Structure 1
Amino acid sequence: MPSSPDMALRPRQDIPALTGARGPAALAVVAYHLPVDPTTPGTTSWFGLEPIFMRGHLGVAFFFILSGFIIHHVYRNVFASSLNSNDVKRFVLYRFARIWPLHIVTMVGALLLYAVAVLVFNRVPGDVDSYSPLSILANTLMVQSWFGIGSPNVPAWSISAEWAAYLAFPFLCWLLMRLPLLGWIVLGIAALLLTGTEFTTHPLGRIATGFVIGMVLRECEGRLGLARHLGRFTGVGVLALLLAGCWLLPEESLLPYTLGFAILILALCNPGDWLAGLAARKPLVYLGEISFALYMVHAVVWSAFKNLLRIVAPGIEPTAHLPVLAGTILSLLAAAALYHLIEIPGRNMLRRGHRPAPQHAAETGLSSAEARPAR
């Protein structure tokens, strides 16, 4: 029997540790783009941490899995037994309001930087097609990565992929809820085995595997209570293995990281886990709340900062310790400002006249892609 919208839209429980985990994942992406910026070859030594920085892009894979987990956690009861058109419309509106305002503002910021580079400094970026009218239109509609079109704000490719997952979720959830538990397990294994194959070279293939793994993880956790069977230090142990893999595994080895991220998410759902307790602390939860803004704005801030540095202090290497630290701090400050001035007001404005969204990290915290990512 269909659950009422008021009850169905209410999450079973809040999991603050999952919000807290988003911040470090977003910082991993920042580390991938700043210290090892390929457009700014540097000679600075990062104390042997370069292998970790080089795999910072895996933060997006974590976001995709987390997005599927949280969206299914919050909305599974809404679409488990029926596809009510009002519920589908409300879900799509909530997700659109979650990501579009910040996406548009950061895209405009990237376009302004492009205009300054061309009109003031007579410099044309190499990826000029990413600033074309077609690209701007596709980015405004959040469909750019579906068709292999670039983005003025580079990280926005994942927002386009996340948007595709949001549009598919109600129908996918309704269909998958007809499966027995064994069917869910088989589906999860299949998605895991596709990870790192040719299928995931396309953004839609990548979001499909990660998002489905997250959904399967949440469904199995709900039916089997997997998290409560994990030890107190499972989260720390898995995190240590993930970090060790940065030195031990080939850079293209996505599957073992994906498996590690799945277990890590389960560990963070266990209130008794030490790492979950740390991630649930207020400073990390706040960092997680602004993580979507950090993910979306850091490339724009870094582009402006490093080019300004080249003008005012040409002898300083942008990827040296102090410039990177300054760029990171500026990105965090910009993210906090955008979270409070754009993300929350924009979300509330677009949702005006509709029922309040679920009070959960999926609504208040990066999607998917989010990669937060986004969720």
Structure 2
Amino acid sequence: MGTLTALTTRTSGRDDAAGPTGMTPAPTTPLAAVPAWASSGSALGATALASAPAAPSPTVLPLPRRRGTSPTPAVSVPAPPRPPSTPDAPVLPLTRGDIPQLTGLRFVAAVWVLLLHASYVPGDVFARWTAPIAPLVAAGPLGVDLFFVLSGLVLTRAYLERMGRRPSVRGTLRFVRARVARVWPLYAAVTVAFGLWCTARLAFGHDGVVTWQNPQPDLGPLGWLRQLTMTQLWDSRGIEGISFVLPAWSVSAEWLAYLCFPLLVLGAWRIRNWPLPVLGALAVVAASPIAVGSLMSSGSGETGAWAWALRIGGGFTSGMLTWLVVARIERTPRVELWAQRLLLGVIAETVLVAYWAASAPASAAIPAADRLWFAVPMFPILLGSLCLARGGVVRFLSHSRLQHGGRISYAIYLVHFPLIEITVVAMTRFPALAPNSSLAALAVPHVLVGSVLVAHLAYRWIEAPARRWVGALTRS
């Protein structure tokens, strides 16, 4: 169990929203005038284009004009035939609805964290099964940083125009209510349930251990109050012993970022039209504090003081800046091609960093736990290129199964660690489930699958209904 307790210091949330972008794209002069229904990007336009007659109609080409002047008609020429549609490349919705590939990525990030925490189970069964990808499993803390960057991106996409133009108390309260409805109901349910489990362990156990953390979380009235208000992390130098459910430290960090967002989005609105290279560079720089801090931490890595603040502050801000870039890039076939190449390159680099970290000897100047953070500055590039790319990765992440996985990713993130802890307690109490026994080998995969099934039920019966109920209550 000592190994398990030590490993929990390497631990690792998520969000979806949609709305107007509020961006001012670079002005362009069209090469050919097309009907409004065809250029709107709407479903009606797409349907009409698909059913348009083969014979092209005359199109008027406007001459170049200066700003503020009317177009000057030129000669009428037949419009060139349109290329066939490509249904395998979903159009990036800049105004409403989810971006499918980002929703699928949330599921991947949640499973990444799940596999990391499953490796804490005593015994070598899980290690034998995952040996070829062991470095990627050990890099699971990066899944949390991916959530942080993704959260900043989708919230900026949803609220930039609504909240960035001017300060508004009413708009801020509406945003905070929406965030509470999104994250608190399921968080509160899991926290109360597992808090009662920890209390029962304290009352009926014989070892004084209530959860596999060091130090132990506070089970007193003040501790409960801080857990339920999602403020337990704010004055803590580290993440261990802060939450009843260990991964919930990131929910507390996200809640702090949400409260800062109304101020951050005002700044984002004012720099939204800065040159794209400048905004892109700032996005990468904003994600870099944890990587820089790992070089200066003398091997303390994630357990270094206030490292969680570097992760949420840098990742969330980086995601905001990433959307400022993505929203102003016109999605053309050339852009999609280069975005796909960039996406594959960043994925390869992230895998390389994971294996490089795992190969660090004990005497290395930069330990394995610190090497992982060198991948974080690549995450804004990863998400930006994923928004603009097409091809196999986008199709995979946009699959309906992964879309549902993305929707229940928050539930996966919250419920899996209590199930793992309960399994570990059973392994220490019942000899038939002792580590490396045949029943223990059978229990490990069931914990993985069971986490997804319980998350599905929690989403269907707790998260989704409670979000609707709390949202309606806060609006009344």
Q: What TM-score does the superposition give when structure 2 sets the normalisation length? A: 0.67
Hey, what does 2:283 align to over in structure 1? 188
Query: How far, CA to CA, are the matches of 1:306 and 1:354 in structure 2?
Result: 39
- Residue 252 of structure 1 and its aligned partner are, at CA, apart by 1.3
Query: How far, CA to CA, are the matches of 1:65 and 1:238 in structure 2?
Result: 15
Hey, what does 1:326 align to over in structure 2? 446
Residue 139 of structure 1: which of 217, 227, 245 is its match? Answer: 227
Unaligned runs of 5+ in 2: 1-18, 23-92, 295-301, 358-367
Aligned to 1:144, what secondary structure does the other structure show? coil
- Residue 218 of structure 1 and its aligned partner are, at CA, apart by 0.5
Return closer, same or farther for 1:355/1:31 CA change in 2, 3 Å cut-off: same
Residue 109 of structure 1: which of 193, 201, 207 is its match? Answer: 193
Query: How far, CA to CA, are the matches of 1:205 and 1:292 in structure 2?
Result: 22
Hey, what does 2:145 align to over in structure 1? 61
Give the AA of the match of 2:153: F
Conserved 8 A contact 2:288-2:377: no
What is the CA deviation profile of residues 18-77 of structure 1, one whole-angstrom value per residue up to 9, with x for unaligned ones?
A: 01111111111111111234xx35474232322211111110000000000111011111
Match runs of 1:1-375 below 5 Å: 12-13=95-96, 14-37=98-121, 40=122, 42=124, 44-45=127-128, 46-125=130-209, 127-148=215-236, 150-179=242-271, 180-182=273-275, 184-185=279-280, 187-198=282-293, 201=304, 202=306, 203-225=308-330, 228=336, 230-249=338-357, 250-270=368-388, 272-312=390-430, 313-317=432-436, 321-352=441-472
Greater mean deviation of Cα atoms: 293-302 or 312-321: 312-321
Aligned to 2:291, what secondary structure does the other structure show? coil
Aligned to 1:224, what secondary structure does the other structure show? coil
- Residue 186 of structure 1 and its aligned partner are, at CA, apart by 5.6
Return closer, same or farther for 1:100/1:308 CA change in 2, 3 Å cut-off: same
Greater mean deviation of Cα atoms: 219-228 or 59-68: 219-228
Conserved 8 A contact 2:326-2:387: no
Aligned to 1:49, what secondary structure does the other structure show? helix
Give the AA of the match of 1:211: F
Return closer, same or farther for 1:193/1:321 CA change in 2, 3 Å cut-off: same
Asked which structure has the greater CA Rg, the reply is 2
Aligned to 1:223, what secondary structure does the other structure show? coil
Conserved 8 A contact 1:290-1:335: yes
Query: How far, CA to CA, are the matches of 2:440 and 2:391 in structure 1?
Result: 37
Return closer, same or farther for 1:138/1:283 CA change in 2, 3 Å cut-off: same
Is the helix fraction higher in 1 or 2?
1
Unaligned runs of 5+ in 1: 1-5, 357-375
Return closer, same or farther for 1:12/1:75 CA change in 2, 3 Å cut-off: same
Conserved 8 A contact 2:268-2:321: no
Q: What TM-score does the superposition give when structure 1 sets the normalisation length? A: 0.84
